[in-house]
A and B are shown apart, each in its own frame.
Chain A
Amino acid sequence: MAALPRRIIKETQRLMQEPVPGISAVPDESNARYFHVIVTGPEDSPFEGGLFKLELFLPEDYPMSAPKVRFITKIYHPNIDRLGRICLDILKDKWSPALQIRTVLLSIQALLSAPNPDDPLANDVAELWKVNEAEAIRNAKEWTQRYAMEDN
């Protein structure tokens, strides 16, 4: 395997030394490009109290191409589908090589606080979020309870 670029080493060091509040990202023991991520559900969101597992992979041409990120914990969110894939512009056409793992994870955390049902990935969820927000939020809380709480 090719040597790890300085950029990835630096980013990993910084993630370890000054972790972002509410986010942990730890590289896999056997693959330094693969990160085990845990994001805590933001306060005042239906995901509050949940711990969400994600996986993050830095492709060969990172940082010229965006990292690949996916939720492993099931989550009820209009911009995240059943396979955990995330609809977020900076992971697609708005990616910039100057963005970092930490900025990506912060954006994902922000997405949990501010779902955007007008740009949906999970259609049925987005639909309910638009026509009956209260019920959608109830579902999201229930899923957080069921899939993202430690004691389950």
Chain B
Amino acid sequence: MDSDMEYSDDDDLDDAMDYYGNEDDIDNVDPKKTDPEFFLYDCLSVDEVEKLLNELVEKLSNTLKITPSLAKVLLNEHKWNLNDIVERYRDNASNLLVSSHIKGGHGKKVTHGTLLCPVCIQSQASDKFQSLSCGHSFCTFCWSTHFEIQVSQGISTQIRCMAPACDVLVPEDLVLSLISKPQIRDKYQQFAFQDYVKSHPELRFCPGTNCQVIIRSQDLSPKKAVCKVCQTSFCFRCGNNYHAPTDCVIIKKWLTKCADDSETANYISANTKDCPKCCICIEKNGGCNHMQCFNCKHDFCWMCLGDWKQHGSEYYECSRYKENPNIANESVHAQAREALKKYLHYYERWENHSKSLQLEEQTLERLKNRINEKVMKGLNSTWIDWQYLFTAASLLAKCRYTLQYTYPYAYFASMDASSARKDLFEYQQAQLEAEIENLSWKIERAETTDRGEIENQMDICEKRRITLLKDFFPTTTNALESI
């Protein structure tokens, strides 16, 4: 094992710290710099978030001397960025109010005599009429019917004035003062709250079923959040499963593609393979992709069916897709076949690691049982002695999860071939994959493998994973817009 190599990945910062003799002072290491997955967040209840939003509303309403309802419209239209709103208001209040759909521009209010409501065509005293800043007057009965119909269609903060082509938004106070049915009022408030949370970039509903928790973080990057109530883990940025090093846009593309193409893929990649040497049919029953044929003891890779020896730690290449160099000159059919082959290459690996994750859970169960047996028989080991194995298994799962999510990235990165970054990514991916399979192999044979060896391998795996994430953690700008 070339363990010297493994430890040389630390970046310059760490080296500098070593130089100044801080190497053992763990408290001094800033996790923001050393751990690419470091994420500070809170799990808030609905009440806490309401309080937080109301504080902003009050602040803005006091600063600009406007009603809280209008402040709410402004905040919701501007991602709850109070400072930005105040600045723009000071700069050009009228512009801001028009672009935020608060002011209609040409509003004249009639406040005397009788008026004809253009919706119900009834004449009534003008005190039965209401209008927004745009001046379009309608009778209160029509307003309230309008609100009820809109709310029943799930619309709340986006309810607009009833006049044709007028896009002035109706503020909350008018809606609530005119809706009489309590269940519609409740619905309006529920929907509006959802809109507020969605428009606030620091907030996200936990995607767990029936979970009421709202995650809050000032770090807007696609980091992993785990709900403290229902334990659902997800990407804070897009709400999907956590997906580093792939970014939010790519993972969405990838999952859509997989959903469209999965039938073909399922058909092509069956669940069993034949041993490349003795041709006996093998069903994979563990997570490790380093296979040893039960029959002929041949060591091979489950993914590429190549000899495992050639996978040695020097240059592991199974994860890399080798493009046909002459493809540009081939026929359209051949190109389509090549495109499918390429997609399947990545899809099979994605699927395979997902399956391996499940199989490794089963392996762990079996291990637990065997350990219990041993401890019961009192064979020179205690239960405590074996606890490290569970740590190892959970670390393996974590590493394999990241490895699984390197494949969508690799597939889309492979579109622009021959970039230096792509080469670096593939190299690191291959290294990570090799170390993970090594760890998996050792864990499956834990009873005969030395504990020190497993712990060493765990350390190598995690280092590989962190190195890859440090270099390729999705940036916020990539993921931000198109969602």
Shortest distance in angstroms between B2's beta carbon and chain A's nearest beta carbon? Answer: 59
A98 touches B149 (CB 8 A): no
B149 touches A61 (CB 8 A): yes
- Find the B residue at minimum CB distance from A64: B149
Check A116 for interface membership: any CB of B closer than 8 A.
no
> What secondary structure prevails in chain A residues at the interface with B?
loop
Shortest distance in angstroms between A60's beta carbon and chain B's nearest beta carbon? Answer: 10
What chain B residues lie within 8 Å of A64 (beta carbons)?
145-146, 149
Q: Which of B19-27, B118-126, B181-189, B439-447 contacts A (4 or more CB under 8 A)?
A: B118-126
A96 touches B120 (CB 8 A): no
A99–B136 Cα distance when bound, in Å, is: 13
A63–B163 Cα distance when bound, in Å, is: 12
- Find the B residue at minimum CB distance from A89: B165
B121 touches A10 (CB 8 A): yes
A7 touches B149 (CB 8 A): no
What chain A residues lie within 8 Å of B120 (beta carbons)?
5-7
B121 touches A98 (CB 8 A): no
For B122, give its contact among A6, A61, A94 (CB under 8 Å). Answer: A6
B166 touches A96 (CB 8 A): yes
A10–B118 Cα distance when bound, in Å, is: 11
A11–B138 Cα distance when bound, in Å, is: 17
A97 touches B121 (CB 8 A): no
Check A90 for interface membership: any CB of B closer than 8 A.
yes
What chain A residues lie within 8 Å of B122 (beta carbons)?
6
Shortest distance in angstroms between B121's beta carbon and chain A's nearest beta carbon? Answer: 5
What chain B residues lie within 8 Å of A40 (beta carbons)?
none
> What secondary structure prevails in chain B residues at the interface with A?
loop
A6 touches B121 (CB 8 A): yes
Given A6-B121, A7-B121, A10-B121: A98 and B163 within 8 A (CB)? Answer: yes
Check A73 for interface membership: any CB of B closer than 8 A.
no
A94–B162 Cα distance when bound, in Å, is: 10
Shortest distance in angstroms between B137's beta carbon and chain A's nearest beta carbon? Answer: 11
A99–B149 Cα distance when bound, in Å, is: 16
A61–B149 Cα distance when bound, in Å, is: 8
What chain B residues lie within 8 Å of A5 (beta carbons)?
120
Check A109 for interface membership: any CB of B closer than 8 A.
no
Given A64-B145, A64-B149, A65-B149: A96 and B164 within 8 A (CB)? Answer: yes
Shortest distance in angstroms between B199's beta carbon and chain A's nearest beta carbon? Answer: 19
For B164, give its contact among A6, A7, A11, A98 (CB under 8 Å). Answer: A98
What chain B residues lie within 8 Å of A10 (beta carbons)?
121
A55–B302 Cα distance when bound, in Å, is: 64
Chain A: interface size category: 10 to 19
Chain B: interface size category: 10 to 19
A97–B138 Cα distance when bound, in Å, is: 10
A110–B178 Cα distance when bound, in Å, is: 37
A11–B119 Cα distance when bound, in Å, is: 11
Mark each residue of chain A from 54 to 71: 1 if its CB lies under 8 Å from any CB of chain B, else 0. 000000010111000000
B165 touches A96 (CB 8 A): yes
Check B359 for interface membership: any CB of A closer than 8 A.
no
Most chain B CB within a 10 A radius of its CB, from A61, A63, A90, A94: A63
A-contacting residues, B100-121, CB 8 Å: 118-121
B165 touches A97 (CB 8 A): no
Shortest distance in angstroms between B107's beta carbon and chain A's nearest beta carbon? Answer: 15
A30–B364 Cα distance when bound, in Å, is: 73
A96 touches B162 (CB 8 A): yes
What chain B residues lie within 8 Å of A97 (beta carbons)?
119, 138, 142, 146, 162
B146 touches A94 (CB 8 A): no
Shortest distance in angstroms between B148's beta carbon and chain A's nearest beta carbon? Answer: 8
A103–B163 Cα distance when bound, in Å, is: 13
B-contacting residues, A26-85, CB 8 Å: 61, 63-65
A6–B16 Cα distance when bound, in Å, is: 83
What chain B residues lie within 8 Å of A98 (beta carbons)?
118-119, 136, 138, 162-164
Most chain B CB within a 10 A radius of its CB, from A7, A11, A65, A103: A7
What chain A residues lie within 8 Å of B163 (beta carbons)?
96, 98
Shortest distance in angstroms between B158's beta carbon and chain A's nearest beta carbon? Answer: 10
A109–B118 Cα distance when bound, in Å, is: 23
A11–B165 Cα distance when bound, in Å, is: 21
A65–B150 Cα distance when bound, in Å, is: 9
A140–B136 Cα distance when bound, in Å, is: 41
What chain A residues lie within 8 Å of B142 (beta carbons)?
97
A94–B158 Cα distance when bound, in Å, is: 12
What chain B residues lie within 8 Å of A6 (beta carbons)?
120-122
B164 touches A90 (CB 8 A): yes
B-contacting residues, A121-148, CB 8 Å: none
Q: Would you mind naming 21 contact pairs between A and B with Cβ atoms under 8 Å apart?
A: A5-B120, A7-B120, A10-B121, A11-B121, A61-B149, A64-B146, A64-B149, A90-B164, A94-B164, A94-B165, A96-B163, A96-B164, A97-B119, A97-B138, A97-B142, A97-B146, A98-B119, A98-B136, A98-B138, A98-B162, A98-B163
Q: Beyond the given A6-B122, A96-B163, A98-B138, could you list 8 further A-B residue pairs with CB under 8 A, ordered by the A residue number?
A: A6-B121, A7-B120, A11-B121, A94-B165, A96-B166, A97-B142, A97-B146, A98-B162
The 9 closest A-B pairs by CB, nearest first: A96-B164, A64-B149, A97-B119, A98-B118, A10-B121, A97-B162, A7-B121, A7-B120, A99-B164
Point out residues on B near A: beta carbons under 8 Å.
118-122, 136, 138, 142, 145-146, 149, 162-166
